[in-house]
Structure 1
Amino acid sequence: MKLYFFKKIIVKLLLPQKIFFLVIALLLIGTFFRFINLDQKVYWYDETITSLRIAGYRQTEVVQQIFDDKEISVQTLQKYQKVNPKTTLLATTYSLATEAPQHPPLYFLAAQFWTQWLGDSVTTMRSLSALISILIFPCLYWLCLELFGSSLTGWMAIALIAVSPFHVLYAQEAREYSLWTVTTLLSSTALLRAMRLKTKSSWRVYAVTIAAGLYSFTFSLFIVTGHSIYIITTEKFRLTKIVKASLFACFIGLLAFSPWILIIIIHLLAVGDISGWTAINLPLSSLIKEWFINFSSIFFDLNFRHNNVYLTLPILILEIYSIYFVCKKSPQKAWLFILTLVGVTAIALVLPDLLWGGRRSSVSRYFIPCYLGIHLSVAYLIATQITSTSFPQRKIWQIITAMLILCGILSCAISSQSVVWWNKYDSYDNPQVARTLNQANRPLLISDPGVSFGYVLSLSYLLAPEVKLQLFTEPSVTEISTDAQNIFLYRPSQKLRNQLETKYTVVPIKENQNFWRLER
């Protein structure tokens, strides 16, 4: 009886019954897609580095141990992906601080607890991100209530993000991006709540969410910047109590993050080395294509990097129109918040690429705050239009909403059955490489450190136990194993390849430019 009464209240006060059941169904579908086939897709380069960090190893020491010119087994390589119960939180933190300080430790420490409790299989590793991604739903609903004061907009936002191909993909990746999404929503909601309540406790909560966001991902600095611009603008550039309170909360949050800021400064050279690939130039036409694909993938994604990019145009038009609609129809506090959420991160990534070159803005996961802003604007547009007094307008937008949801479900369904997807980047060809190696008679795989370390780790997840590896110390090549009948070369440095070409004929394997066969 109580359950029936509670349901009746929800249906009548929050949203129509049909929409209520639709949202519940989409929540179940979205949750299903987040947890299905967690171990199916390639465990790619970045994820292997996650396992390395939470196991307490540093990349430099592992390279010294395994790249020693000696023949090793796949099991030897996999040893560095296994969590040791004796590994301490300090070892994981030290590994990050000295080699990858651009990745703060919050997710990695949580993952270490998780794997020591449940094991270190691929499914377990990714299940933490999937579980964290479920928290996106209540956080997004709460943000919509604070921003628009509309439960219908909140439910529509949940429905759209539940079957968002992008968010489902990163809910199944052993990296910190689901956590960053949650902390971004929490800090945004905490800010709006603090501005509404104007209490000390609410500003303390906001300060805590700032620190949590920064310890999740360094780009949360863009979120803090956007929030500051929003507060100052809404307060009409006056030093009001709200401005003072928000600045103090930001100061406390940044102060809590200051130890890691110091680590980043000390190891700035390491950050430059690791992130140097983002400075590689892309032609403007290629950048624009990546922007189109990235921003459409939050609603529709059929692996367009390998298909027709023009199919993304209807989604992009809808997103642009939703921003325009929000700016025209919603209160200032709503549209200004969305503009700062989207604009600051977009400018911070796009502008350096346009001025100095690089490919930072081609990396889809860096735009998560922008995607959240677009989700909010599209949800507001749909919630407003499907309740319009005009019958034809209502029907048109109901059809658009149905098509948008179907696009998301279709994208997630196809992706869930695939072994690779665009978010696996340079590990995309691993299944093909592993298939060739596993089918060969007495195969030997040769490589050297260079950029290959993470790629070799990723490939090892797909290799049969019979495959042997010989990893040379760059750039010297000593004796190659004589027991091998088929010798392959994988992602070598140019120096290693040049040396091998003096003794062998290097034959490229079709359809893969990073994989060769050596013939005596």
Structure 2
Amino acid sequence: MTAVFKSSRFQLGFFVTLGAVLRFINLGRDSLWLDEAISYLAAQLPVSQIVNNTVQSSHPPFYYLLLHFWLQIVPDSDTAVKLLSTLFGILLIPAMYLLCQQLFKNRTVALVAAALTAVSPFHILYSHELRMYTLLMLLVVGATAVTHQARQKERSGWWVLAGFLLLLAVYTHLFAFLVLAGIGLHALLTYRQSKRAFWATAVITAIILLCFVPWLNLILAEAEPALGSLRPLQQATAFNPLKPLTAPVFLLFGMSSSFWYSGLILFIFFAYVVIFLMELRKLGRSQIPQGLWLTLLIIICVLGVPLGVYLVRPFFLPERTLATAAPFLIIVLAWGMTRRQSPLPYLTGLALLLMLVGTIGYHSGPLVKPPYRDATAFVAENSQPGDVVLHSSDGSYLPALRYAPQLNQGLLAGDPDPRKPASVYAVLGGQVWSMADLELMANGRFWVIVALEHSIEWQQAQYEIIAASPPLLEQQEIGGIRIFLFEQVK
């Protein structure tokens, strides 16, 4: 019996089961927010419109296509639709085990990587999100494992499979190209040891770039580039000098509003980096495992390139877009368990404990996202025939199109920081209203929903204009979302 508990299969099965339980808990607790609503609404469109990027998403269409077919086979509930991301998140646990086995031939490293992935607050958070990030991480981990296998076996079939997985990854998220860059850089630096691997990687890269040209032409041809797929790159943002530090910490430990927890994870991360670099210096370049070199090169490309551009020219770079680095950061933590006469194993163990604490805090804490589902349900339950609903922000408007499409509702025009062209809202089943449109459409009562996500001063000014003359019948606040019911006087 003891041998069974010590077997790798049993231990991996335990971590997969633990990870599944932690991902199934509270799966449908939070309502969809803006980006998730875009995923849901985009996936409802015909395949031709998804492929043509009618909604002008900054992300390629592979995830939306999968979600399109998923929505056709599951009930229309938040829990059911998010389950797709959860399944990818669960599959990532054994994928991490297999990748570490490929890279290090070390059972301990593989099991620790699986354990860290199973309890990571970041991975659990995005296993609960109707977005492409768990699929993306699964694809890049699988592609990296297959690429390493191809280098070992030197068989064309493995290279074909690696290229196919990498193509799916770049058609899921543009930053998958940075993983490809890391793999290519490793092939270049090891050219003398394996010329065939270098040329195979070069051929795969060329084919992927060629296959990506149709999508590139599509996004470059958009009529309004400032509101289209490339908007995040063009969007100015305030410079945050701590982003190079906070981004990798978030990719490991997720978010936290606790001062003591944030301080601890920052300390652990900084201490690990310092001691890790000292350990590399002790080993010397020739003794560093090739698997660790590959891992570090991918991290350097995935984190270093965007953050380097950000430091020169700040642009909209939320930490979640760097998700492809998250599995490889975990691999570096897991490798620390091999350094017996070093503090690294203790720091890795402490990181595992803090991840578990963060996950428990996530499950037992307050809602992570605004309760748009509850706010929309309140309006739907209390509205009367003829009521119209005006949203000052698409932060509440797009989720409302998912939760209450039967309402006669629109988005207020004139936002100084518009996030989509009016044509995109029309495709998603919505409409944009001016103040004059509201006056014409409202015939008795009208609702105003104010969700102060962005353009806050503008939204507040518009509300004051709207509220200046009609009598206020009712007001309600649900999780910071303000709801007002007015009676129009003619």
The answer, yes or no, to whether TM exceeds 0.5 is yes
TM-aligned CA deviation for residue 434 of structure 1: 6.1
Alignment of structure 1 residues 84-483 onto 2, 5 Å:
88-94=46-52, 97-235=53-191, 240-267=195-222, 269-270=224-225, 273-276=228-231, 279-284=234-239, 286-288=240-242, 290-301=243-254, 303-304=256-257, 309-321=262-274, 323-324=276-277, 327-328=280-281, 329=283, 331-360=288-317, 363-382=318-337, 384-385=338-339, 388=340, 400-418=347-365, 420-421=367-368, 424=369, 428=370, 430=372, 446-447=389-390, 452-459=393-400, 469=409, 473-476=433-436, 477-479=438-440, 481=442, 483=444
Q: Is the 8 A contact 1:445 1:469 kept in 2?
A: yes
SS at match of 1:173: coil
With over 3 angstroms needed to count, the CA separation of the structure-2 counterparts of 1:23 and 1:198, relative to structure 1, is closer
State the one-letter code of the partner of 1:300.
F
In structure 2, how many angstroms separate the alpha carbons of the residues matched to 1:195 and 1:299?
A: 29
Aligned partner of 1:42 among 26, 31, 36: 31
In structure 1, how many angstroms separate the alpha carbons of the residues matched to 2:106 and 2:18?
A: 24
Write the deviation string for residues 100-147 of structure 1: whole angstroms up to 9, x where unpaired: 353222222111222211233211110011111222122212211221
TM-aligned CA deviation for residue 455 of structure 1: 2.4
With over 3 angstroms needed to count, the CA separation of the structure-2 counterparts of 1:323 and 1:459, relative to structure 1, is farther
State the one-letter code of the partner of 2:108.
L
Q: Is the 8 A contact 1:299 1:315 kept in 2?
A: no
In structure 1, how many angstroms separate the alpha carbons of the residues matched to 2:335 and 2:163?
A: 28
In structure 2, how many angstroms separate the alpha carbons of the residues matched to 1:353 and 1:305?
A: 27
TM-aligned CA deviation for residue 266 of structure 1: 2.5
Deviates more, 1:195-204 or 1:372-381: 195-204
Aligned partner of 2:21 among 11, 18, 32: 32
Tell me what 1:503 maps to.
469
TM-aligned CA deviation for residue 342 of structure 1: 0.7
RMSD, matched Cα: 4.0
Write the deviation string for residues 275-307 of structure 1: whole angstroms up to 9, x where unpaired: 5356554444x451x554442234434623888
Alignment of structure 1 residues 45-64 onto 2, 5 Å:
45-56=34-45
Mind listing any 5+ residue stretches in structure 2 that lack a counterpart? 413-432
State the one-letter code of the partner of 2:51.
T
State the one-letter code of the partner of 1:411.
G
SS at match of 2:73: helix
Write the deviation string for residues 393-432 of structure 1: whole angstroms up to 9, x where unpaired: 6xx76654543333222222221244532xx4xxx36479
State the one-letter code of the partner of 1:344.
C
Q: Is the 8 A contact 1:225 1:344 kept in 2?
A: yes
Deviates more, 1:141-150 or 1:24-33: 24-33
In structure 2, how many angstroms separate the alpha carbons of the residues matched to 1:140 and 1:469?
A: 45
TM-aligned CA deviation for residue 225 of structure 1: 1.4
In structure 1, how many angstroms separate the alpha carbons of the residues matched to 2:480 and 2:86?
A: 33
With over 3 angstroms needed to count, the CA separation of the structure-2 counterparts of 1:398 and 1:219, relative to structure 1, is closer
Tell me what 1:68 maps to.
none
SS at match of 1:135: helix
Write the deviation string for residues 322-374 of structure 1: whole angstroms up to 9, x where unpaired: 642663446352332122111112222112222122231xx121222322221
State the one-letter code of the partner of 2:280.
C
TM-aligned CA deviation for residue 219 of structure 1: 1.4
Deviates more, 1:115-124 or 1:506-515: 506-515
SS at match of 1:190: helix
The number of residues matched between the two structures is 455
State the one-letter code of the partner of 2:30.
K
In structure 2, how many angstroms separate the alpha carbons of the residues matched to 1:213 and 1:323?
A: 30
In structure 2, how many angstroms separate the alpha carbons of the residues matched to 1:234 and 1:177?
A: 30
* Identical columns (%): 18
TM-aligned CA deviation for residue 49 of structure 1: 0.9
Q: Is the 8 A contact 2:85 2:132 kept in 1?
A: yes
With over 3 angstroms needed to count, the CA separation of the structure-2 counterparts of 1:147 and 1:318, relative to structure 1, is farther
SS at match of 1:358: coil
With over 3 angstroms needed to count, the CA separation of the structure-2 counterparts of 1:468 and 1:22, relative to structure 1, is same
Q: Is the 8 A contact 1:326 1:335 kept in 2?
A: no
Deviates more, 1:333-342 or 1:478-487: 478-487
In structure 2, how many angstroms separate the alpha carbons of the residues matched to 1:47 and 1:486?
A: 24
The structure whose RCO (Cα within 8 Å, separation 6+) is larger is 1
Tell me what 1:82 maps to.
none
TM-aligned CA deviation for residue 183 of structure 1: 0.8
Deviates more, 1:172-181 or 1:454-463: 454-463
Mind listing any 5+ residue stretches in structure 1 that lack a counterpart? 15-19, 57-87
